Amino acid sequence: MASNQYVTPPGTSEVFEDAVSAAVAQHLALSPAASMQELAAAAGVSRATLFRRFPSREVLVAQLCEAAVRAFVGVVNAAEPEGDSPSAALRRVVSGLARLAPVVGLLGLQPLDEHVESTLLEQISNAEERLRQLIRRGQEAGDFRVEVDPEWVLTMLTWLMVGSADGVRLGRLTSSSAQRHLAATIETTVLRARQ
């Protein structure tokens, strides 16, 4: 049984450039509707200080989401999905993204301005295309199930990251068990059963 006390997920400081952003993101993971006053208190700064840094809640969320996108792209780049066997590459990608999930998963549910959202989607598009190519490569090599559409894999990854973060937020999962289950779910769905 998971503890009801939230523990800062590993990797939080790797995603966010400073302690204030990391604390605000952590609090948003616990309380997605938190006000600027609550976010300032969680970060240990005054409301005025938080507003000097982020002129509005919308700007704050946009900047945190941009950091999350950079982290996602960084994980994909570090995993080098074009190298090695498709199965090994998939495991590297999924392991890295599973590590990020408890840190950034719920940011995907925060409302964003249409322009901001389209800019973030543009920034992530190359990484997503590399993942599509990885799935296709694995299917062509006979390592991955051919009936699983690469678009479905991307959709699953997105929503499993959100679900992992929510499971941790609600105390139903530990950060490590959420990561383990996310990776196992993707691998079970994509990899062909060994004969």
Confidence of residue 182 (pLDDT cuts 50, 70, 90): very high
Weakest mean pLDDT among 2-6, 77-81, 136-140, 184-188: 2-6
Pairwise CA distance, residues 80 & 101, whole Å: 19
Domain architecture of the chain: domains with CATH:
61-190 (1.10.357.10)
Residue 42 · residue 23 · CB < 8 Å:
yes
Segment 146-161, tens digit of pLDDT: 999 999 999 999 999 9
What percent of the chain has pLDDT above 90? 60
Residue 163 has what pLDDT?
92
Evaluate if residue 10 carries a pLDDT over 80. Answer: no
Q: Give the mean model confidence (pLDDT) for residues 71-100.
A: 92
Evaluate if residue 14 carries a pLDDT over 80. Answer: no
**CB-side exposure of 161: number of CA atoms within 13 Å?**
24
Q: Encode burial over 135-174: b for 16+ CB neighbours within 10 A, e otherwise.
A: bebbbeeebbeeebebeebeebbeebbbbbbbbbbeeebb
pTM: 0.84
Residue 52 has what pLDDT?
93
Residue 51 · residue 36 · CB < 8 Å:
yes
